[in-house]
A and B are shown apart, each in its own frame.
Chain A
Amino acid sequence: DTGVSQDPRHKITKRGQNVTFRCDPISEHNRLYWYRQTLGQGPEFLTYFQNEAQLEKSRLLSDRFSAERPKGSFSTLEIQRTEQGDSAMYLCASSLTDYQETQYFGPGTRLLVL
Chain B
Amino acid sequence: EDQVTQSPEALRLQEGESSSLNCSYTVSGLRGLFWYRQDPGKGPEFLFTLYSAGEEKEKERLKATLTKKESFLHITAPKPEDSATYLCAVQPFTGGGNKLTFGTGTQLKVEL
Contacts and interface: CB of A to CB of B under 8 A. Distances in A.
Interface of A: 4, 6, 31, 33, 35, 40-45, 48, 55-56, 58, 91, 93, 95, 100-108, 110
B99 A33 contact: yes
Interface string B80-110: 0000000101010000111111111100000
Contacts of A108: 41-43
Contact of B44 (A44, A48, A91, A100): A91
A100 B49 contact: yes
Sorting the interface of chain B by its residue count into under 10, 10 to 19, 20 to 34 or 35 or more gives 20 to 34
B5 to A, nearest CB: 11
Contacts of B36: 105
Given A101-B32, A101-B91, A102-B34, A45 B100 contact: yes
Contacts of A106: 43
